[in-house]
Structure 1
């Protein structure tokens, strides 16, 4: 049964909070389908039309200079039009009140909020002449590090040629390695905290450049750089940078270098992929003979990379100490997850065992590398949920830190909350600062001097993200800093300056996104982005309204989001397209502002697009989350079917014969599983870059949720994820399969294997493969082509223009 829900439209108007589901849709579109006196209605309509015509004529006579515009539908071109994409105000904090920013004209500017001063560091013209596409300003604003000729590598990493731009002289010089006379591609480069020194990685070895020498601008600098490591080997040994699997699944960053606050000491990770098997894909573009790209990629159950952490001082780079993990970790395969400097003498390291159901935080001594356990916990019925590195107090004593840990909520199970942990005893003493049947999604700042922790949570609604502060002193008073701050804004993210004196607050929806800057000690607020151009562009557009429901499935609630077409006719039957992701801990139903392809489908073809967060999705506690543990392709797929069945029962204006499902990546897997699950709900489906057998996916992600593909663990669970084994069940349905041949994440092997099985089962399908394209298919031409064929496929499917379901040989 549907539960009533409060919803706000994108225009800021609230929907009625207490109505039935059918009533809510009717009020959105203005009508119902009850029996009526049709003759009386017809006569009334004639009279009304006559009156309206007279009014319109009168308006044109009285106001001949005014344009008369009816709302226009959201067009295909609007998906890609930058006018319909919100602008986000990005900042690089330099100090407590100072930051740099690229303005709307591509000038790099600085601002000091405390002094109310600003200036231009680099004009757009000079930036264009230098060829810089990424930039970083050093702390004293004397130089800008520019990344040029950028080539994306993986999700976070890239190769680039770097320049050092002198702000005072207006000159630039290239950056290279010792002994080289020209700039070369570097895997990583960055400023060292507190000055003009640089750290960079060339051919998987680390280099330290203490200062920028003055000399010939035409000769790149680098001869005076000190080589920190000498073991680097491309594709095998990675120093200071992660390999593919660590970058993708654990670190979510392009480097593995961790500096002390004053920039005098550092910890770096070294990854050894010698025993890791290689993944390969062909490269076709402009080559007479294709080439093979190769990289280390451990699949579930196979050999992982090994890792070590070293600590060293800039004053004595030759003296490097290895941080030693505790025996509870080191005797088997393990990972490191977070490294945080506590003070000059201590480093906090978070370690995980290979199954990722045991985590331990250690405090490691800089001088000896010895690591002592401070806090450990395990989750035998699921996996460790990580929501960021711990944040330590800035004082010397007593030292404590805050992190997000599971907190028991009586009969409701565990929910994730802010915990304060001491370090003066082992194990550390834990005090929870928040509690309730809602969750903290991230801790964004910890101010020991103010005795406050700042965090983002779902306390207001599972769909929302609001900024709060909570006191570290009893009774742990908490305050919502973003609630009711802006009309129609309930989903926020934020970033704090280094001393927590200012923070940037991004409203991401459901209304038009906007950005403000806030001083933590006062009520001072600066509005820096309102997206006025987007607001104006949408005034003449008819785009969908989003409405929300919850349905009860046993003891679990399933959130549902529906995109209601702007010109919905309740007297006709409307098609449904379910957009699914379904991965563990994910969330599709939320208050973020969205347009894109879903808005186009709804506006153009009157399709009701539906998102359903099934069991295994995030932010509803561990009981809900762990339903998917070692069970991929089960409950999260079943709940898509269950959700649609409820919708079909509740809404008479939905066509049960025109229900489709589509998804990307894990969503492609879920869509394929749903279409092949022998239900009578889905009639067509689209799978983009799908996993079709989780034995083909990487070890860290897959084993976290599925265990090992071994008979003593979860081999049967892995076999169940083999979509190819269910190929015959897709026969008779419209099915579109899309994949890029250079997908480093979900390998093309998945779709190739799937197509082979579909062909063997004589299933007719439509395929679209994109040569040399990776997982995101983010080339602008590819994006237009992709959404064009998907739109055509959906339209044909709802018009019942089915592919031939029988092969004639």
Structure 2
């Protein structure tokens, strides 16, 4: 559509001026283009609404999913793992495997560092040095250790097999820090094909001699590299007579410890307890395993019914284990002196317990705690 414009020229003579009249331009818009604009706005609004609904839907779905999954926290935390077994908790398999720190001398302290190795803290000058790396510990799956006083050797306890709640049998290996050499601790008469577990092994005082308990008897090895062992006792009998390790009653009810042997600081004397369960009544109890192993020919292990195990278990009115305390002088290996620490005179003719024994002087004085079976009299003796 065309718009017209008029002008008025005023003035006279040869000159004049032009003056624009008031703007009377008329603009007309095509109705079809207006409809297109309205359609575009409505389409944009619909897209916004749909997008908003999708966002709200995703949020609601996320909230519902989170609420649902909160009922399965264990599966969230252990998505790629497995459920915990009750036996693992009861037997301590889920406990952190941190090695216990120990004092080696009055100023040196051995502990497990953050990287898993063993380090030595010297409190005299506040310095820390690495004793061995975690690679050495992982090689043997170490569960315990003991350093010699000169820090040249480390005695490892590994491949532990539980016997009772407080007792075990394990492999022991001596690690030479100076030359990175491993020396398995085995008795000379042990089978060569299959290594035998030991009941106990430790350094004797501040020396590099080893005191060993195997099959309820005590042995002495004067150096980690020695292949000859000196047998100190020969009365040990399985489940009957124990030397250097407690029987079931003492390890469970009195010591809460798997050993009953103590070396003097200078390594010249060994104190140990001996337990005789010959007159203790035998208790039988069923032993339930994890389940029988089924082979093609039928049941091959465990059987259909539980096994029967026996245990020397004293009950009220029956006899207790007979306990004795002995001290060995190993200064002269060819002529070992043996002496018994007798109970106080007031306990003669009575049944008693030996609840503790310890070296209280550097080498030649011990403290012993005795208590009657009725537990109405306790005596501490120094000898």
Question: Which bin holds the TM-score, normalised by the shorter protein?
Answer: 0.5 to 0.7
Paired with 1:104 and 1:86, the residues of 2 have a C-alpha distance of 13
Matched, 1:212 2:240: no
Matched, 1:249 2:241: no
Distance change >3 Å, CA 204–CA 90, structure 1 → 2 = closer
Matched, 1:362 2:370: no
> Which residues of structure 1 form unaligned runs of 5+?
1-71, 214-220, 365-809
Paired with 1:330 and 1:160, the residues of 2 have a C-alpha distance of 38
What residue in structure 1 maps to residue 349 of structure 2?
331
SS in structure 1 of the partner of residue 251 of structure 2: helix
Paired with 1:210 and 1:283, the residues of 2 have a C-alpha distance of 43
Paired with 1:232 and 1:314, the residues of 2 have a C-alpha distance of 20
Count of paired positions: 283
What residue in structure 2 maps to residue 192 of structure 1?
204
Matched, 1:308 2:324: yes
**Where do 1:93-492 residues align within 5 Å?**
93-180=103-190, 182=192, 183-213=195-225, 223-279=227-283, 280-285=285-290, 286=293, 287-289=301-303, 290-316=306-332, 318-343=336-361, 344-364=363-383
Distance change >3 Å, CA 103–CA 293, structure 1 → 2 = farther
User: How far is the alpha carbon of 1:244 from its aligned partner?
Assistant: 0.9
CA contact (8 A) 2:218 2:232 kept: yes
User: How far is the alpha carbon of 1:301 from its aligned partner?
Assistant: 2.8
Distance change >3 Å, CA 189–CA 362, structure 1 → 2 = same
Cα deviations by residue, 1:361-388 (Å, 9 ceiling, x for unpaired): 1122xxxxxxxxxxxxxxxxxxxxxxxx
User: How far is the alpha carbon of 1:109 from its aligned partner?
Assistant: 1.8
Distance change >3 Å, CA 178–CA 95, structure 1 → 2 = same
Cα deviations by residue, 1:107-131 (Å, 9 ceiling, x for unpaired): 1222212222222222222222233
CA contact (8 A) 2:210 2:222 kept: yes
CA contact (8 A) 1:203 1:233 kept: yes
User: How far is the alpha carbon of 1:149 from its aligned partner?
Assistant: 1.3
Cα deviations by residue, 1:310-331 (Å, 9 ceiling, x for unpaired): 1111124632111111221121
Distance change >3 Å, CA 123–CA 73, structure 1 → 2 = farther
SS in structure 1 of the partner of residue 326 of structure 2: strand
Paired with 1:135 and 1:247, the residues of 2 have a C-alpha distance of 21
Cα deviations by residue, 1:613-662 (Å, 9 ceiling, x for unpaired): xxxxxxxxxxxxxxxxxxxxxxxxxxxxxxxxxxxxxxxxxxxxxxxxxx
CA contact (8 A) 1:283 1:293 kept: no
What residue in structure 1 maps to residue 35 of structure 2?
none
User: How far is the alpha carbon of 1:299 from its aligned partner?
Assistant: 2.4
Greater shift in the superposed pair: 144-153 or 237-246: 144-153
Paired with 1:308 and 1:292, the residues of 2 have a C-alpha distance of 31
Paired with 2:96 and 2:71, the residues of 1 have a C-alpha distance of 19
Paired with 1:140 and 1:74, the residues of 2 have a C-alpha distance of 53
Cα deviations by residue, 1:477-520 (Å, 9 ceiling, x for unpaired): xxxxxxxxxxxxxxxxxxxxxxxxxxxxxxxxxxxxxxxxxxxx
SS in structure 2 of the partner of residue 267 of structure 1: strand
Paired with 2:356 and 2:167, the residues of 1 have a C-alpha distance of 18
User: How far is the alpha carbon of 1:100 from its aligned partner?
Assistant: 1.3
> Which residues of structure 2 form unaligned runs of 5+?
1-69, 78-82, 294-300
CA contact (8 A) 2:175 2:181 kept: yes
Paired with 2:325 and 2:254, the residues of 1 have a C-alpha distance of 15
CA contact (8 A) 2:243 2:273 kept: yes
Paired with 2:358 and 2:276, the residues of 1 have a C-alpha distance of 22
CA contact (8 A) 1:271 1:308 kept: yes
CA contact (8 A) 2:243 2:274 kept: yes
Distance change >3 Å, CA 88–CA 308, structure 1 → 2 = same
What residue in structure 2 maps to residue 677 of structure 1?
none
Paired with 1:210 and 1:300, the residues of 2 have a C-alpha distance of 44
Higher relative contact order (CA 8 A, sep 6+): 1
Paired with 1:73 and 1:101, the residues of 2 have a C-alpha distance of 41
SS in structure 2 of the partner of residue 246 of structure 1: helix
SS in structure 2 of the partner of residue 310 of structure 1: strand
Paired with 2:199 and 2:364, the residues of 1 have a C-alpha distance of 30
What residue in structure 2 maps to residue 57 of structure 1?
none
SS in structure 1 of the partner of residue 202 of structure 2: strand
What residue in structure 2 maps to residue 726 of structure 1?
none
